[in-house]
Structure 1
Amino acid sequence: MAVGKSAIGYQLAQRLGREFVDTDLVVVAAHGSIPGIFASRGERGFREIEAKAVAAAIEEGQGTGRIISLGGGAVLDSGTQQLLEQCTVVYLECDVDTVAARITRNSGRPLLAGDAVESWKALFATRKPVYERLADVVMDVRHGSVAELAGRLEEALRTHAAAQQEVEQ
């Protein structure tokens, strides 16, 4: 959450000439603001909508090389986890010091209401093992511009793809 998934994903898609889909934006376009969804349907209702958006993005993008940015909690859904087994999953690794400025100035994150830093730490503690288990590529995003990080990610993905090809042969 707040690690730069959308910015880095968009930049990577531009570099590779691929389509980019941010599932949070898909949800907002179809259902209104995320805080509004949380207020009217609760977190459970939001997660159901989110899971459907993620499933559609993955299914529609199969075989296209589409770059998809998921919301930080999307991977908690077991159905989403199963779908991600078909994908190359990137975990953008970060720490609270790096995201603190972003999360304290951004009031549009319902799960970070109150003490945003402490809420982020608690959410991250529960999500980190899932991120690590699902990830094919882990990249530290604590240092570098978005363009630099996208370049490093492009190289990491090439290395991963080459390793996958060797395994398949």
Structure 2
Amino acid sequence: MLIGLMATGKSTVGRRIASRHGWRFVDTDAAIVDRHGPIPAIFAEVGEPGFRRLEAGIVSEVLTAAEPGTVISLGGGAVLNEGTRRLLGSAFVVFLDADLLTVLPRLSGDTGRPLLAQDPGETWARLEQERRPLYEALADTVIDTRNASEEAVADRLEIRLRNHILTEDKDQRP
């Protein structure tokens, strides 16, 4: 389970890890778009509270149906929902951490993120400050993505996954 603020690489790194292992990859933002249409249109129609309700339903469906070997990328605000946070308790949760300098080039010209429509850099920094405590509290591990290529982040995640699997296997032995 990959969590973190928008533009930290959750979808890209998640796809890469899933591809390396032949695992299933689910991007909950993409699932929302598939079912309900473009996220900016949803925000325009029902506002952020309405979007968060739709998001919580999709995330619940995805998490409930997920099998071992599924990599799931959550939207940056999905952790705001208490039910989603409870569901994360059964997953290995990875917080992809970044700073504004790392994500700012990814945000310029991006029209698919309604929360960043006004002053993307300032808004991202504010959201990061507000949400960081949730991400840190939910994470089993944190991967710093600052100044790292997608490949390097995927490699770091690979090491953390291997360590998690080895630890989990050792804990389950008699």
**TM-score normalised by the chain length of structure 2:** 0.92
Shift of 1:167: 4.2
Determine whether 1:107 maps to 2:139: no
Q: Which residue of 2 aligns with 1:37?
A: 42
Shift of 1:65: 1.7
Determine whether 1:158 maps to 2:162: yes
CA distance in 1, matches of 2:21, 2:147: 22
Q: Which residue of 2 aligns with 1:146?
A: 150
Listed as ranges, the matches of 1:8-157 within 5 Å are: 8-62=13-67, 64-157=68-161
Q: Which moved more, 1:10-19 or 1:100-109?
A: 100-109
Structure 2 unaligned residues grouped into runs of 5+: 1-5
2:12 to 7, 19, 28: 7
- For the 8 Å contact 1:137–1:160, the answer to whether it is kept is no
What SS does structure 2 have at the residue aligned with 1:20? strand
- For the 8 Å contact 1:27–1:50, the answer to whether it is kept is yes
What is the root-mean-square deviation in Å for CA atoms of aligned residues?
A: 1.2
Moved over 3 A (4+): 164-169
CA distance in 2, matches of 1:164, 1:129: 26
CA distance in 2, matches of 1:147, 1:122: 28
Structure 1 unaligned residues grouped into runs of 5+: none
- Among all aligned residue pairs of Structure 1 and Structure 2, give the percentage whose two residues are the same amino acid: 47
Residue correspondences, number = 168
